[in-house]
């Protein structure tokens, strides 16, 4: 039975890394002592070790020890044995590229379906959806596929941003981009604003945090979902 937290961002404005989520994580991970960290998304290209150190420092506040998946000889066995798993943010293309390169997507999906507690933030949340086709990231590497875990029956758009009123910029808004996605694809897309996260327990999905989230469905007007109310 799935047991996942899928967050828009690791960090909200004016707050430390994972700080706003720590009370939730303290409860969510209360039965485990170690977490396997997947650092493949490498924000700003930092090394796996640097990234793992940042994460270890945050989790030390709730007495959880963090080990990077790169520190294991066999990443598939590391995933199978993990008490809990966290995939951090960064570049979704590189994250997905490495998931395929290390051939761990199938194992990761299996343990998540079987209930290993999972936290994803940003890119680590994007991979929970059906595809990574609604990421905001730059395609800095070419992954072998855009297909991701499909642990939820829709796609995530992390760091969802509303159109900026009075903007003079002519690049597409986030909403325009997601509508373009629906010209070619049927998968619903949930725009998760910074500070929102999903709690997935089995097939029940709950929107948490203080904000609404914006649900885009093909050929329908987008709707705002209230916190606490999401069901798929």
Active site residues: 122, 137, 159
The C-alpha torsion from 153 through 143 and 74 to 56, rounded to 10°, is -70
Cβ proximity to a copy of itself, 74 vs 186, nearer residue: 186
Q: Which stretch binds a copy of itself (CB under 8 A): 37-45, 48-56, 72-80, 205-213?
A: 37-45
**Nearest distance from C-beta of residue 79 to a copy of itself, angstroms:** 24
Under the criterion CB under 8 A, does residue 140 sit at the interface with a copy of itself?
yes
Task: Please give the order of strands across the beta sheet that includes 85-87.
Answer: 65-68, 34-38, 85-87, 118-121, 3-7, 197-201, 204-208
Least gap, CB of 213 to a copy of itself (angstroms): 16
Contact between 231 and a copy of itself by CB under 8 A: the answer reads: no
- Name the segment binding a copy of itself (CB under 8 A); options: 23-31, 57-65, 109-117, 129-137: 129-137
Instruction: Give CA torsion, residues 38, 39, 40, 42, to 10 deg.
Output: 160
Close Cβ partners of 201 (under 8 Å, ≥ 6 residues apart): 1, 2, 3
We find the least distance from the C-beta atom of residue 184 to a copy of itself, in angstroms, to be 5
Task: Report whether 211 contacts 195 (CB < 8 A).
Answer: yes
Rule CB under 8 A: choose which of 49, 74, 145, 186 binds a copy of itself.
145
- Could you tell me the sign of the dihedral formed by the alpha carbons of 31, 35, 36, 37, in that order? positive
Stretch that binds a copy of itself, among 76-84, 86-94, 105-113, 198-206 (CB under 8 A): 86-94
């Amino acid at each position: 039975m799935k047991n996942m937290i899928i967050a828009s961002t690791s960090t909200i404005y004016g707050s430390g890394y994972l700080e706003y989520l720590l009370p939730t994580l303290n409860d969510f991970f209360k039965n485990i002592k170690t977490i396997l960290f997947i650092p493949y998304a490498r924000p700003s290209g930092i090394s796996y070790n640097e990234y793992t150190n940042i994460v270890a420092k945050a989790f030390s506040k709730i007495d959880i020890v963090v080990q990077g998946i790169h520190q294991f000889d066999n990443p598939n066995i590391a995933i199978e044995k993990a008490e809990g798993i966290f995939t951090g943010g960064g570049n979704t293309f590189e994250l997905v590229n490495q998931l395929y390169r290390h051939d761990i997507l199938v194992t990761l999906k299996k343990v998540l379906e079987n209930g290993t507690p999972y936290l994803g933030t940003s890119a680590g949340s994007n991979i929970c959806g059906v595809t990574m086709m609604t990421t905001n990231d730059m395609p800095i590497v070419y992954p072998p596929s855009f297909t991701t875990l499909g642990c939820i029956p829709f796609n995530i758009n992390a760091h969802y941003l509303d159109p900026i009123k009075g903007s003079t910029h002519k690049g597409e808004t986030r909403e325009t981009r997601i509508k373009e996605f629906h010209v070619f694809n049927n998968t619903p897309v949930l725009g998760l604003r910074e500070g929102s996260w999903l709690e997935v327990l089995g097939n029940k999905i709950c929107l948490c945090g203080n904000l609404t989230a914006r649900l885009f469905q093909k050929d329908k007007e987008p709707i705002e979902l209230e916190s606490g109310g999401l069901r798929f």
